């Protein structure tokens, strides 16, 4: 039994030699500066969280993924986690404040669990004219216009990590944070599963199909982080904006099978993959877990085939 059940992913943390170049990319991607110092850049989404993306200043040639933050429901949960793990609850010196417990996962990734952070007002999604389709045509005498601009990122949704040993990492994350498997990936002829999409356990409250996806790749590596946008129009507007800015596109637009979300993948200036997505599955604890073949992981419902860089 895990000592706590986390509520959500809080942020992802990177290192890069040029904070100005990272900020320019994040602005094009749809995140806004929350705070910047000589050594750190914090970027926020529209959900009111203090930040969802942080970049630490590194040396030339020293860029990479550092770790992730998870959000607990209370400082009491942090106390329980610290007691379980032999850690300690510290005052959080970063934007939003609150408290933090700092851990390191089996592959050396930093895992910071935060609670009690101050929030700002949530920025409501922009008003959008209703959609006409074959089921209903409510929009009358109103024309629809979508401006090409950066997507309006609403929140950080999930993170995908390649890990050395899937079962070791799966056990570590589940025993501490209460994750539930949504879809476990099996490969015919292999003795064990190669990975799993895992979601937060919040009882009857439905959560994203996956908050964390662990892939047993034999060595640790950041795979990608995914940010929810307003809707399909917003995703496509952001796609055109990033293309006009000559940013590096990786994969999309399409719709996944596992998780069902519409996706669009891009790379930041140092090659870290970040995803825009919308219209994903929401599942509660009662839904349970499944085992699925790796073909379901690689297949799309529509859109381009999975590129070699994503496998």
* Lowest mean pLDDT segment, chosen from 125-134, 173-182, 297-306: 125-134
Place of tokens 């599963």: 193
Range 112-116 average pLDDT? 98
Q: What pLDDT does 36 receive?
A: 98
What are the CA-CA distances from residue 233 to residues 7, 29, 145, 170, 303 (Å)?
Answer: 28, 15, 10, 36, 16
- The bridge status of strand 221-228 relative to strand 273-278 is parallel
139 has a pLDDT exceeding 80? yes
Q: What pLDDT does 128 receive?
A: 85
Structure token digits, residue 14: 């990177």
* Lowest mean pLDDT segment, chosen from 73-77, 137-141, 304-308: 304-308
Residue 179 · residue 4 · CB < 8 Å = no
Percentage of the chain with pLDDT > 70?
100
User: For the chain, which domains are there?
Assistant: 8-120+151-305 (3.10.180.10)
- DSSP calls for 28-49: HHT-EEEEE-SSEEEEE-SSS-
Q: How far apart are CA 127 and CA 136, in angstroms?
A: 19
Q: What is the mean pLDDT of the chain?
A: 96
Q: What pLDDT does 41 receive?
A: 98
309 has a pLDDT exceeding 90? no
280 has a pLDDT exceeding 90? yes
Q: What pLDDT does 131 receive?
A: 93
DSSP 122: -
266 has a pLDDT exceeding 90? yes
In three-state form (DSSP H/G/I as H, E/B as E, the rest C), the secondary structure along the chain is: CCCCCCCEEEEEEEEECCHHHHHHHHHHHCCEEEEECCCEEEEECCCCCCCCEEEEECCCCCCEEEEEEEECCCHHHHHHHHHHHCCCCEECCCCCCCEEEEEECCCCCEEEEEECCCCCCCCCCCCCCCCCCCCCCCCCCCCCCCCCCCCCCCEEEEEEEEECCHHHHHHHHHHHHCCEEEEEEECCCCCCCCEEEEECCCCCCCEECCCEEEEECCCCEEEEEEEECCCHHHHHHHHHHHHHCCCEEEEEEEEECCCCCEEEEEECCCCCEEEEEECCCEECHHHCCEEEEHHHHHCEEECCCCCHHHC
Q: What pLDDT does 170 receive?
A: 98
Residue 72 · residue 87 · CB < 8 Å = no
209 has a pLDDT exceeding 80? yes
Other beta carbons within 10 Å of 78 = 25
Residue 308 confidence class, pLDDT cut points 50, 70, 90: confident
Residue 251 · residue 262 · CB < 8 Å = no
Q: 209, 239, 268, 238: which is closest to 43 by C-alpha?
A: 268
Residue 96 confidence class, pLDDT cut points 50, 70, 90: very high
């Amino acid at each position: 039994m895990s000592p706590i059940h986390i509520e959500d992913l809080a942020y992802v943390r990177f290192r890069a030699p040029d904070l100005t170049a990272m900020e320019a990319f994040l602005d094009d991607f749809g995140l806004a500066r929350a705070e910047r110092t000589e050594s750190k850049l914090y970027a926020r989404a529209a959900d009111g969280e203090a930040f969802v993306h942080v970049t630490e200043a590194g040396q030339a040639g020293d860029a990479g993924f550092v770790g992730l933050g998870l959000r607990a429901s209370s400082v009491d949960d942090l106390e329980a986690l610290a007691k379980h793990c032999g850690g300690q609850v510290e005052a959080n010196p970063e934007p939003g404040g609150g408290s933090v417990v700092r851990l390191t996962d089996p592959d050396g990734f930093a895992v910071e669990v935060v609670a009690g952070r101050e929030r700002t007002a949530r920025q409501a999604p922009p008003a959008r004219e209703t959609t006409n389709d074959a089921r209903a045509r409510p929009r009358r005498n109103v024309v629809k216009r979508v401006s090409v601009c950066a997507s309006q990122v609403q929140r950080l949704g999930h993170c995908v990590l390649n890990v050395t040993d899937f079962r070791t990492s799966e056990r570590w994350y589940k025993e501490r944070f209460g994750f539930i498997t949504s879809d476990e990936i099996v490969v015919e002829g292999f003795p064990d599963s190669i990975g799993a999409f895992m979601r937060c356990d919040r009882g009857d409250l439905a959560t994203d199909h996956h908050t964390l996806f662990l892939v047993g790749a034999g060595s640790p590596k950041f795979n990608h982080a995914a940010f929810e946008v307003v809707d399909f129009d917003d995703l496509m507007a952001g796609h055109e904006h990033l293309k006009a800015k000559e940013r590096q596109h990786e994969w999309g637009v399409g719709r996944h099978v596992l998780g069902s979300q519409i996706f669009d993948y891009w790379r930041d200036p140092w090659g870290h993959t970040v995803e825009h997505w919308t219209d994903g599955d929401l599942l509660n604890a009662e839904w349970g877990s499944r085992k699925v073949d790796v073909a379901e992981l690689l297949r799309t419902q529509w859109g381009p085939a999975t590129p070699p860089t994503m496998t």
